[in-house]
Amino acid sequence: MRTIAIIALVGLLSAAYGEEKETPVESRIVSVGLFKNGLAVVKRTVSVPGPGAYVLRDVPEPVHGTFWIESDAAVETRLTTRDLDVPSTGGDFQNELAGRQVTIHFRDGQIPPATGVVKPPEKPDHRTWDRTYEQSNDWRWYSRSSSGANQPAQPRYLILQKGPSSMYIDTSMIAYVQADGGARAVTKPQPVLLFTVGEMKEKPATISVSYLTKGIGWAASYRVDITNPRDLAIEQHADIRNELEDIADADVSLITGFPNIQFAHVASPLSARTTWASFFQQLSMDPSENRGNRNIMTQQRVISNYLEPDRGIDLSAIPQGEGPDIHYQPIGKRTLAEGDCIAMSVTSGKAVYDRIVEWIVPDTRSANGRYIEDYERQQNPEKYQDAAWDALRFRNPLKMPMTTGPAAIYSADRFLGQRTSFYVSAGEETTMHVTKALSVRTRAVENEEQGEKREIVWIGGHDYRKVSVKGELAASNHRAEPIKLVIRRRFSGELVEADGDPKVSLLEEGVYSVNKRNELVWSITLPAGKEQTFTYRYTVLVWN
């Protein structure tokens, strides 16, 4: 009678607290928004017929703070592990061949083959983390990387049971393993998402999972055709590479903009490969710590959307809607297997353009008025390059912004040059350099005027010499046709006078410097075989 009472009590407890039956479910990616830096906004859905517990094997690796669940039903989500059947990979003989009759063939042909039953390994400890934030062995197998860099190390010995004896075989000596029964699935602990679904408004219910993750992105490029002397044709291309997972019939959008993703380098604690130690380490990292590196900056300009350096403001750009300055360009439903890369044309347009020669004369002084040192020129030679360029000046004819990326210029199928096209809003004017104008000779000289008494100016506890500078710019056209010449002379200081009534503008980089940063712009037509000279004077404060 007492035994019956105990059994009844166990049954009641099991009904109240026992494990609920877990139903496997599948998910599908329904939409992907691609950034140019390899990040993507992914939305996947799961359909559930009613309340209960559902197991999803598609575990994402979201960026910290971007994992969200939406549903009309009450849903609680948990990352956990379940022992599931997975294909054998041959990475762990002891686990994958446990209980099977095998024959071991050795690298050394003089050692005879060994036959026996693979001894099952001891049951692993299912704790995920301990108090020292060390990851348990249960998770070592898990990796989305095809390189296998994060796979567990093969145990040194493979243990075979043959009758009452055990054989310990050094795995480094194994040439190959012959197993009876052919290939089989093996059971391993797998990370899963467990959805506990409660009250539902309608049946079935849809659970939407959205997150930001790495592994799929796009790169933009442009083809500019100037065969027509009046109108250019511009076409935007996109290269999309999928290193995330198989995607079937999903809505894909290309995202243009410069979003602030502060935690892009931090994997969410919901990622199966994240430990508290790695999470806190990623939080402490500064993603901009290499910002001073020129190569890193070039990379950032391409994968993000930088404006052209020192470009003025064009208020004639076409308004592109309201809210944050992020543009989504839908490209329809796409199917991409993991590892696929597609190249496609996104949009095209035509625009009236001017062929000009743009001569940019850089500022030769630093913010304190002293001349730029050689090492600074070597660190950023493009910035301090004094050169005339054949260039195209036009307004963006596309209905979307031109994102930062390479632009190749052609004329009658002849390649003329390639240059970075910086971010340009729809309808905004831009200038695109094509090739150096070698037949337009230029000369820029400056000299400090002597004979005047040097005035000393005290600013912020430092003394500066006020120096008067005279400059001369000369350009000669060695072509058989007239050219539209745009001269941009940048300098630090206060303008005194200049020939030719140039346009004078202040540059943003001089906001916090002792000397103003200025740009003089002359726009002229230079006849064939002619030369034009301009002089100007300015004063500058030079730190003693």
Identify the band that residue 510 occupies on the pLDDT scale cut at 50, 70 and 90.
Answer: low
What is the pLDDT, as a whole number, of residue 91? Answer: 66
What is the DSSP annotation of 492-539?
ESEEEEETT--EEEE-GGGTTSSS-EEEEEEEEEE-TT-EEEEEEEEE
Contacts 24+ apart (CB under 8 A), 93-96: 93/118, 93/154, 93/155, 93/158, 93/171, 93/174, 93/177, 94/118, 94/119, 94/121, 94/155, 94/158, 94/159, 95/121, 95/186, 95/188, 96/186
**Torsional sign, CA 504, 508, 510, 511:** positive
Domain spanning 89-183, CATH architecture:
Roll (2.30)
350 or 463, which is more confident? 350
pLDDT digit string, tens, across residues 107-140: 887 889 999 998 887 765 544 444 443 444 433 3
468 or 315, which is more confident? 468
Identify the band that residue 62 occupies on the pLDDT scale cut at 50, 70 and 90.
Answer: very high
What is the pLDDT, as a whole number, of residue 334? Answer: 95
Once rounded to an integer, what is the mean pLDDT over residues 518-529? 95
Q: How far apart are CA 525 and CA 532, in angstroms?
A: 10
pLDDT digit string, tens, across residues 268-280: 998 888 889 999 9
The answer to pTM > 0.75 is: no
380 or 71, which is more confident? 71
So where are the chain's domains? 89-183
Q: Residue 86's beta-bridge partner residues?
A: 186
Asked whether residue 441 carries a pLDDT value surpassing 90, the answer given is yes
Asked whether residue 443 carries a pLDDT value surpassing 90, the answer given is yes
Of 70, 79, 72, nearest to 51 (Cα)? 72
